[in-house]
Structure 1
Amino acid sequence: MATGWAGDTAVQDQIDATVEDAVKRVRSQLPKGPSLERCEECDKPIPEARRKAVPGVRLCVACQEAADHEEATFSGYNRRGSKDSQLR
């Protein structure tokens, strides 16, 4: 397939790079270090079972759920792709 100046594997290389970047971003967000005994946000005790299950945990279950919800609602991508959505 003629692709101009791009190599034959340029599209796959771009896909691979995108996947690698996403994996690196997610890995960088994983908890590191020792788990805290009290939540960083609300100062409630973090149960021992949670500290053992998630090494490096920093938030209690309630605060983690709120943080996950907040992160899930923000999307930096325009998935609709219509002109109308780009103007907002």
Structure 2
Amino acid sequence: MNISLNSTHEQFVLSKIESGKYANADEVIATALQLLEEHDQYTLWLNDTRQKVAVGLEEIERGDVLDTEVVINQLKEKLLQKREAQK
């Protein structure tokens, strides 16, 4: 596959090669594509997280929440009961 770069992008690729970090244009492009793929994955994760946060905020507004102190105390009580049953 052949690609054409505008002068700005071409200079950027050449500067990366001249820096010594990359041996050739293929390495620069491969790294750029890898970063693009990682960005796409991050964007999917971010959108999913935003959706989950929105659902959580809606639940809070409706009052569909648990008091964490009550939940922790219930869990502690269950743990104590299990320990006592094992004795």
Structure ranking higher in helix proportion: 2
TM norm structure 1: 0.32
TM norm structure 2: 0.32
More relative contact order, 1 or 2 (CA 8 Å, 6+ apart) = 1
